Chain A
């Protein structure tokens, strides 16, 4: 009896390690450090079907058919990420938009240095670290002559491009009003969040536990 108890205790402790072991992967929703996206994840309810999807691309997507049908149904897709991957995704969607390869600077409104732009947009103070200009579409937020957030009408649906993925990382997400602005443009708390970034077995396991917990509750 005692040995069974000890065995189950050791098994439990292994699971505990997996749950509490810090996830250090960039853009991981379970990473509570500066590079994670836990604040962003916690500020929304990640649901499996919503009319708003936030897509962060740090890797290339090859199959875009689900996104095309999703957009043609009249839904909103908010896209951000590494500009090379976003440009590749936009090309596959046949959207006439592109993210320029230069990093924008602003001498007048900035946080720490001129590459981390601060924008005042209708009572919101937003921070765009290392932003690129979005070329094409209708500008929503402009810095000088360049747009950092733009939207594009795609059939019945809408694509919104946020030109820097660092908009979402913990270090900057709560620094100013990035969260409030994102809630304003999504208009809902229930969104679908998809992050294409480097995946670790640890975060996959944590995701599995999360799903299990949601299923039970």
Chain B
């Protein structure tokens, strides 16, 4: 294009003899150049588009025609060796100096993928290691990962490691101190228990500070890791912290009773209960006894904690009685009994574990197939213990109830309004007497049907004529009705609805494009049942308006200049 332009420029300079002709020529070429430049700038700045190759080729043609016209005029100066060498040297030196700006060392069409030379830091493995340490504290002593991260991240990762060490130490000491309190209360040594309790509160303070610091630093590291593992770490750390916080809370309740104890008490007591199996959903009474070395009758109160309940019960003549109703499905019930002591007897704390008659329901299920078609039946095969159990299968807001026992096979119809994503199928067995309820959550990925989309488009799009796009949409020779069809051409979107399997539309012409291949995307949007299909077609654009553009510009310029020269000649006459 540059060579053609140069030839045009030079030959036109030779052919055109009259200076006014030369003036018209250069002015028209100059204006075309300006129009092209403004089109490129507009497309770049206003429409944020990459400029078209056609534009670039045209500007190369016209600009070189423009330049060569002048070069031919001043050819004598350029033929001078000194001037030519000076221009050449200047161009070379300037291009050399500015070369780092237009040839950056690391950007090249054939360069390595960006991630090879600019790797993204990842802290995901670090969090895996932190989780490992929290779930199994003995790992902390083992070798640490040998990880190189950006220096700021490395600093935080080291801080978190040190803080995790402290967290583990404080958790050990909380366990240790709480055991010491238990032993000293069991032995009736109240003053020592109080001393340990003060230490326990300090340790809780320390572990809280450490936990808050860890949370602060891991939030910075978490930005560079996968969110699931980061959330998992936070969850495990908070779970650990809550566990130790609960230990201290329990001792807080116990110690609040013992504060009031007079100093005269000195005889230790022992707590016993009758060990029975607790039935489900029935109230039974448990009888407890207090014994001591002396045959004194023991009175006072016991503080009983079981199944998230706490009760104060009076002790009369060494005996106390409390009702218990099991309403949750558990294998065993833990009961903590604290005798709060009086002016003769020392306090005592004892833990008991009683079995229950609850049987956990066993449920094994299998889905055949795991990816059923929408509208088809899903076979659920499985086993459940107990007779005549109520089974509820639910998917989104649709559910079905079955009564099953032992090995069972049921059929569940898959609804139509699903898409091709993952759904959870909840299979619940309701409780029955002492048999517990159970819920299984299984994944299904429904399959949709593939419909056929055929698009017809003209090979050539001659602007200013509109473009006709038509097509067919059907499944297994059955035409689909009322399906939305979207047509994407560049940045524009057109919408048409297929009736009885056929659709057709006319696209208004685009005047800004001169010539080129136009890719058209046609997308079907069936609601449910069928997949969304995308078809790519293309057409060649020929903009006939360009042919008219030049003569119009030429005529305008010609009229403009003719008027001016007329005016001048009139002035001269006068």
A residues lining the B interface (CB < 8 Å): 2-3, 6-7, 9-10, 13-14, 16-17, 20-22, 24-26, 31-36, 107-116, 118, 120, 129-130, 166, 169, 171, 198
A24 contacts B96, C-beta separation under 8 Å: no
Task: Give complex CA distance A3, B110 in Å.
Answer: 42
Q: Which residues of B contact A115 (CB under 8 A)?
A: 119
CA distance A36 to B124 in the complex (A): 30
A112: chain B residues within 8 A (beta carbon): 119-122, 148-150
What CA separation (Å) do A25 and B95 show in the bound complex?
A: 19
Contacts of A20 in B (CB 8 A): 96, 99
- Chain A hits for B151, CB < 8 A: none
B239 to nearest A CB, angstroms? 23
Partner of A6, one of B89, B147, B148: B89
Pick the contact of B145: A107, A113, A198 (CB < 8 A).
A107
Of A24, A31, A32, A112, most buried by chain B (CB within 10 Å of CB) is A112
**Cβ-defined partner of B103 (8 Å) among A22, A34, A116, A130:** A22
Interface residues of B in 45-99 (CB under 8 A from A): 81-82, 85-86, 88-89, 92-93, 95-96, 99
Are B86 and A6 within 8 A (Cβ)? yes
Contacts of B96 in A (CB 8 A): 13, 16-17, 20-21
User: Roughly how many angstroms separate A54 CA and B456 CA in the complex, as a whole number?
Assistant: 57
Complex Cα distance A120/B143, Å? 13
Bound: A50/B152 CA distance, A: 45
Are A114 and B122 in contact (CB-based, < 8 A)? yes
In the bound complex, do residue A120 and residue B146 qualify as a contact, i.e. CB atoms below 8 Å apart? Answer: yes
Which chain B residue lies CB-closest to A5?
B85
Using Cβ atoms and an 8 Å threshold, which residues of chain A touch B106?
24, 33-35
Q: Does any Cβ of A come within 8 Å of B117's Cβ?
A: yes
Write the residues of chain B forming the contact surface with A, with a CB cutoff of 8 angstroms.
81-82, 85-86, 88-89, 92-93, 95-96, 99-100, 103-108, 110-112, 116-117, 119-122, 124-125, 128-129, 143, 145-150
- CA–CA, A130 and B115, complex, Å: 10
Q: How far is the CB of B148 from chain A (nearest CB, A)?
A: 4
Q: List B contacts of A109 (CB < 8 A).
A: 145-147
Expressed in whole angstroms, the Cα–Cα distance for A107 and B128 within the complex equals 8
Q: How far is the CA of A113 from the CA of B125 in the complex (A)?
A: 8
Contact, CB under 8 Å: A26 / B110: yes
Residues of B within 8 A of A198 (CB): 110
Q: Check A114/B92 contact, CB under 8 A, given A3-B81, A21-B99, A24-B107.
A: no
A109 to B93, CA, bound (A): 48
Instruction: Name the A residues within 8 Å of B88 (CB-CB).
Output: 10, 13
User: CB within 8 A of A111: which of B81, B92, B93, B119?
Assistant: B119
Task: Give complex CA distance A207, B127 in Å.
Answer: 49
User: A10 to B120, Cβ gap below 8 A?
Assistant: no
Q: Are A114 and B148 in contact (CB under 8 A)?
A: no
Name A7's contact: one of B81, B95, B149 (CB within 8 Å).
Answer: B81
**In the complex, A141 Cα to B121 Cα: how many Å?**
25
Query: Which residue on chain A has the smallest CB distance to residue B149?
Result: A112
Given A6-B89, A9-B85, A24-B108, the answer on whether A107 and B120 have CB atoms closer than 8 Å is no
Check A10–B89 contact: CB distance below 8 A.
Answer: yes
Q: In the complex, A129→B113 CA distance in Å?
A: 12
Contact of A16 with B103 in the complex, beta carbons under 8 Å: no
* 19 A-B pairs (CB sep. < 8 Å): A9-B89, A22-B99, A24-B103, A24-B106, A33-B106, A34-B106, A35-B108, A35-B112, A107-B125, A108-B125, A108-B129, A108-B143, A109-B147, A111-B119, A112-B121, A112-B122, A114-B124, A120-B146, A171-B117
Which residues of chain A have C-beta atoms less than 8 A from B95's C-beta?
17
The one of B105, B117, B124 that contacts A24, using a Cβ cutoff of 8 Å: B105
- Please indicate the chain A residues that have their CB under 8 angstroms from the CB of B122 in the complex: 112-114
Q: Which of B81, B117, B146 contacts A34 (CB 8 A)?
A: B117
Task: Say yes or no: A24 contacts B111, CB within 8 Å.
Answer: yes
A130 to B116, CA, bound (A): 8
What separation, in Å, do the CA atoms of A33 and B150 have in the docked complex? 20
Residues of B contacting A24 in the complex (Cβ-Cβ under 8 angstroms): 103-108, 111
Residues of B within 8 A of A21 (CB): 96, 99, 103
A26 touches B111 (CB 8 A): yes
Cβ-defined contact, B85 with A6, below 8 A: yes
Taken together as a complex, chains A and B put the C-alpha atoms of A7 and B80 apart, in Å, by: 11
Q: How far is the CA of A90 from the CA of B143 in the complex (A)?
A: 38
Report if A33-B105 is in contact (Cβ < 8 Å); known contacts: A6-B82, A112-B121. yes
Distance A25 CA – B145 CA, assembled complex (angstroms): 36
* Closest Cβ–Cβ distance, residue A167 to chain B (whole Å): 12
Assembled-state Cα–Cα distance A6/B147 (Å): 58
- Cα A22 to Cα B106 in complex, Å, equals 10
Residue of B nearest to A166 (CB): B116
A2: chain B residues within 8 A (beta carbon) = 82
Asked whether A113 and B120 contact (CB < 8 A) given A3-B81, A17-B95, A33-B106, the answer is yes
Residue of B92, B108, B149, B150 touching A25 (CB-CB under 8 A): B108
Q: Contacts A107-B129, A112-B121: A14 and B92 contacting too (C-beta < 8 A)?
A: yes
Which of chain B's residues have a CB closer than 8 A to the CB of A36? 105
Distance, CA A16 to CA B97, complexed state (A):
11
Cβ distance B414 to chain A, nearest Cβ, rounded Å: 37
Q: Are A116 and B105 in contact (CB under 8 A)?
A: no
The minimal Cβ–Cβ distance linking B155 to chain A, given in whole angstroms, is 15
